[in-house]
């Protein structure tokens, strides 16, 4: 069992549940990663309306979706979604964490992921999976490692973007009692 350690956000950063009104800012943050990195295998940034629909789908399933704000501006976000749709996976979630490019290196991603772990655990989930685009994504791998995720494998050349093949790194972390007993 891995217990999350509460982390303190930078003094000017607040972590809260996301709102529909935050989705335009979320779309802007995500667009940067779609256009410039292999962190996501999407190649065309989704519109704010598409992001809002994704948010609504997650909220309807009682999945945690958080934002980090600075001076009331969204500077990062994290959410947990279903790992897979089949019933047997119902206690496992997959995380996503993105921070505005001008806020990187401040610990915002770590505080967001820590809060996401806490909320997913409180909802009764038992495992969290991270599917990290690009085995060269050292920052994301390090972030997840710091919060108790272990590398469980890599899928070579599973995506193609920027005219190159890209690996996916799989990381996993138990939540709450993990697999030590049956869920309630």
Please give the residue range of the domain that contains residue 105.
14-174
Say if 92 falls within a structural domain. Answer: yes
Where the chain has pLDDT below 70, the residues are 1-8
* Average pLDDT score over the chain: 94
Say if 95 falls within a structural domain. Answer: yes
Number of domains in the chain: 1
pLDDT score, position 7:
66
pLDDT score, position 104:
92
CA distance 121 to 15: 17
CA distance 5 to 152: 22
- The structure's pTM equals 0.93
CA distance 37 to 57: 25
**Cα 107 from chain centre:** 14
pLDDT score, position 6:
52
CA distance 76 to 153: 27
CA distance 158 to 155: 6
- 87-91 long-range Cβ contacts below 8 angstroms, 24+ apart: 91/124, 91/125, 91/126, 91/127, 91/183
The answer to whether the CB of 40 falls within 8 A of the CB of 166 is no
Domain containing 170 — which CATH number?
Answer: 3.40.630.30
């Amino acid at each position: 069992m891995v217990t999350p350690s509460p982390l303190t956000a930078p003094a000017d950063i607040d972590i809260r549940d996301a709102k529909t009104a935050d989705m335009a800012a979320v779309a802007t943050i995500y667009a940067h990663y779609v256009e410039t990195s292999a962190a996501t295998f999407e190649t065309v940034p989704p519109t704010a309306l598409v992001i809002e629909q994704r948010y609504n789908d997650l909220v309807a399933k009682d999945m945690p979706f958080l934002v980090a704000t600075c001076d009331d501006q969204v500077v990062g976000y994290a959410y947990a979604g279903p790992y897979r749709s089949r019933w047997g996976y119902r206690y496992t979630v997959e995380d996503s964490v993105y921070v505005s490019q001008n806020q990187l290196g401040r610990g915002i991603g770590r505080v967001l992921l820590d809060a996401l772990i806490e909320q997913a655990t409180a909802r009764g989930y038992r495992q969290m999976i991270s599917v990290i685009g690009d085995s060269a994504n050292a920052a994301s791998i390090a972030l997840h490692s710091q919060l108790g995720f272990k590398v469980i494998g890599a899928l070579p050349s599973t995506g193609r973007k920027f005219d190159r093949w890209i690996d996916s790194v799989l990381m996993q972390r138990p939540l709450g009692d993990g697999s030590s007993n049956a869920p309630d």
